[in-house]
Structure 1
């Protein structure tokens, strides 16, 4: 099924009539030539320029042995090289597997080991960590370095068999012999945090990724007359599917920056000229809390997606003169509910997308009446529109897709008019500023400290929307471990989004369930207390 089966072509003139990434890029390169496409952290590429660049890079990767179905791991910040590796891998029928470059230790080992990637594309910032963990990465054979070389890698202690530079890979012919890439083939494996275990690799087909374009464009009312801006990281769906893939399909300009900065955001947005963008709820809160400026209304954006939606949507829209829209979905699906400009309902995350069946069910997967809380489940009405499973985790795939529904682990309800409302997460994941954080992984890091006997991590409602992370730890007898000591440990061993805000050190046993498990629920219900240390106010 091509674009005609998923879009109303009357509203999308000029959109690519294809749904496999290499074909879309080639089509737009032929149609739009040297028209500007991508500006990412000051690096630029036209449609045709990116096609030529990725032909050479694909040939270079092919020379390293990358073939159809192989996984290519990416550990980079936002940069043109990230996009080029992703696109070049797709031309080979290979699968891009990006990870957060802030990951360290066991969390990084899990991602790089579980995907079986023989080739890792990274930069000099990761060399010390790669040297420290490579003995636990038996599949890793080749490093491709961006902005660094073999001498630097060897000086850092890296012993991987083959080390080449990104520039070496580009020293290849531009003529490319394509391989057949099918809509059902995997394009990417994106990691999403588990609830009580390690991160799961979500296998995403070309058709599923293309479907993200349809849902996001419907949400925003995006057309070929628009352009996009993103301040989110490329190792997640937001920047990849919204910031890169959707503008590619529509043949529009797109701008990405390295990270969100409240002090730079509006100037960056104005400089981009973008008419559409997206914000996580916490980002929107931070922007609203900044002092009002006369220039607040001076920006080119007509529409912005915000998830979760701000409690006072209208105040944001008035101050920054733009429309806000919202939706609900997961990496495993896409947006299964959404609203559009001029058709929304307060506190709702929208109505079901026409291509998705969405229900709220009880413990037996039976739909519950409007106004009744239950678990949000969904399933597509079109083939290959959702994830192809969790990589090498068949049991979790079957459990998540039981009874032919994707089980979100989220609680919510429908009103009598079919608008859906998200309430809370039913599982033990912590939703912090757009990231799903595994309580299990936070505890794993805490318990790597020699003075921690056991720990419990959970979410605390945040003034920035969603949750902040709190961890309570039982310290070893005789230890003088402090909250600042533990936070320093987290900052050394965890990415920034997993560093707790609230820390409590105790010498008393943690509460248990009747089955002798630590009761996170009891600690969460108790919440902060006099002994709780707030890392953001000290």
Structure 2
């Protein structure tokens, strides 16, 4: 797919990064040279190479070069420490690592405890490279020259990337995706966002995340468009970057959109070209601020997981149902069915509109499985349907609506209460930055509700304030018994609250105020 762009867009910008531009033709030279460098290091079909870095063009070149060899990229969160890096790269059994200069020492420390020590090269030359023991850089490797790739062994079914889950239930799992999956997901994103060759996709999400790789990069490739790559998300510089790079489309997550909405309006830059934004969930306030204050006309909400990229979305032409996950995603070719979606009960029977059950999905972009975990792979499917673990329902127009994670349900006095609903309602309190509701054992059996609350900077909120807010906005059964005011909440690498860590933290309940005991 990448090489096919050369036939129609060789001189078009493919990647823009920190003021430097790479055309499709120039990128192809880097990919060929990177493939040759990997072959000199003995990389062959099926091998894994780790990436430990913030976003950088070499990550894109490396993904394509490894695909050329039938090998696999295993990216890791650059914020991980040595122990976390060691776990993932040991689990992936990487033969080598491409790493950012400032993370070199951590990478060496991580590798020191691995049974088979991988080679390490830096992805760029900087002043810190001299302090890295004379370690080679990818640029050095490329300058040694390239040679045509021979005996190309890859196919559409060849695994090309491991996406490690956020580990919300324990150790991260490696989701395996094929080259065909990435191509099809990119084509689906063309339909989802009506991408055109002139589009410039701003990538602020990290290239270890399915969104950045399958939607931003995959979408740019499928459309023959331009990927505007940023090292990391910067809220204070976001609008300046949007204006300077002439970005027309951006993908966000809820946390990033929320941060931008709360930044000083003096940071907003008028006259930008941003027309489209993809992400979820977007509430009414998100639509209002981005459309009316930030002049971004089209917001598209969707739903996907590392295992099933791009399963649902609000149709680009509309109608857009705010807070809805949308309808089953479509492919630009009507003959290609991108997703079948249903709501299932615990026995596997599909439910009619309006009834809540587990969201299940069949899609050609489904993962190949979890690496070295046949048991978890088998447990993720039933009768060919992927089990998302999310409770949802669909309406008579075929739009799907998220209710809660099955594991985020609090069972109180015979009723099921959505932790996600409590998070949203309490998070709307003007003095609350973030909130997370979890179940705690009740002396009456089942659960009581504990909510951990982070106040906004320079603002104060008391447990009693949360109680009053909840009584005004929720039914009595949903009012929490315990409120803990905390400085911060634990998060996964994709900025979701790591509720499993809260549930395991006994100090939270100790620190909480028991509103019932007053």
Normalised-by-shorter TM-score class: 0.7 to 0.9
Q: Contact (CA 8 Å) 1:72, 1:120: kept in 2 or not?
A: yes
1:275 aligns with 2:248: yes
Structure 1 residue 371: deviation in Å?
1.5
Question: What's the counterpart of residue 508 of structure 1?
Answer: none
Question: Secondary structure in 2 aligned to 1:318?
Answer: helix
Other-structure match for 1:42: 19
1:78 CA drift (Å)? 0.9
* SS in structure 2 at match of 1:132: helix
Q: Answer whether contact 1:74 1:121 (CA < 8 A) is retained.
A: yes
Cα distance in 2 for partners of 1:501, 1:404 equals 29
- Aligned counterpart, 1:338: 313
Matching of residues 369-384 of structure 1 within 5 Å? 369-380=352-363, 382=364
Deviation at 1:37, TM superposition (A): 1.5
* Counterparts of 2:64 and 2:265, CA distance in 1: 41
> What is the total number of aligned residue pairs between the two structures?
442
Distance, in Å, in 1 between the alignment partners of 2:139 and 2:45 is 22
Distance 1:62 1:501, change over 3 A: same
What is the 5 A alignment of 1:130-529?
130-146=107-123, 147=125, 152-154=131-133, 163-178=135-150, 179-292=152-265, 298-315=271-288, 316-321=290-295, 322-339=297-314, 340-354=316-330, 355=337, 356-380=339-363, 382=364, 385-427=365-407, 461=424, 463=427, 497=495, 529=512
SS of 1:427's equivalent in the other structure is helix
SS in 2 for 1:81: helix
Larger relative contact order (C-alpha < 8 A, sep ≥ 6)? 1
Which secondary structure state, in structure 1, belongs to the residue aligned with residue 397 of structure 2? coil
1: CA distance, partners of 2:35 / 2:501: 47
Structure 2, gaps ≥5 residues long: 331-336, 410-421, 441-453, 455-485
Shift of 1:428: 6.1
Q: Distance in 1 between matches of 2:233 and 2:34?
A: 29
Per-residue deviation, 1:154: 4.0
CA distance in 1, matches of 2:60, 2:198: 23
SS in 1 for 2:104: helix
In the superposition, relative to structure 1, how do residues 128 and 300 fare at CA in structure 2: closer, same or farther (>3 Å)?
A: same
User: Aligned pair in 2 of structure 1 residues 496, 402: CA closer, same or farther (>3 Å)?
Assistant: closer
Query: Quick one: structure 1 residues 368 and 209, their matched pair in 2 at CA, closer, same or farther if it must change by over 3 Å?
Result: same
Equivalent-residue separation in structure 1 for 2:241 and 2:174 (angstroms)? 33
User: Quick one: distance in 2 between partners of 1:152 and 1:470?
Assistant: 46
CA deviation map 1:460-498 (0-9, x unaligned): 55738997669999xxxxxxxxx9xxx99999x997958
Instruction: Report which stretch shifted further, 45-54 or 363-372.
Output: 363-372
Distance 2:53 2:133 in 1: 19
1:78 equivalent to 2:55? Answer yes
Relative distance call for 1:140 and 1:150 in structure 2 (3 A) is farther
| CA positional deviation for 1:165 | 2.3
**Distance in 2 separating the partners of 1:499 and 1:31:** 44
Deviations 1:136-184 (A, max 9, x none): 22233311123368863349xxxxxxx5321231123333224132101
**1:96 aligns to 2:73 (yes or no):** yes
Q: Normalising by structure 1, report the TM-score.
A: 0.74
Residue 115 of structure 1 and its aligned partner are, at CA, apart by: 0.6
Change (3 A) 1:494 1:422: closer
- Separation in 1 of the partners of 2:375 and 2:73? 23
1:191-219 CA deviation, whole Å, 9 max, x = no partner? 11234221011100011111211222222
Alpha-carbon separation, structure 2, partners of 1:66 and 1:253: 29
1:36-76, CA deviations, whole angstroms, 9 ceiling, x for partnerless residues?
A: 21112334211000101111111011000001111111111
Distance (Å, rounded) in 1 between the aligned partners of 2:299 and 2:398? 20
Shift of 1:403: 2.5
Aligned positions of 1:9-48 closer than 5 A: 24-48=1-25
Q: Distance in 2 between matches of 1:206 and 1:306?
A: 24
Cα deviation, 1:494-517, whole Å, max 9, x if unaligned, reads: 97958989999xxxxxxxxxxxxx
Deviation of 1:135 after TM superposition, in Å, equals 3.3
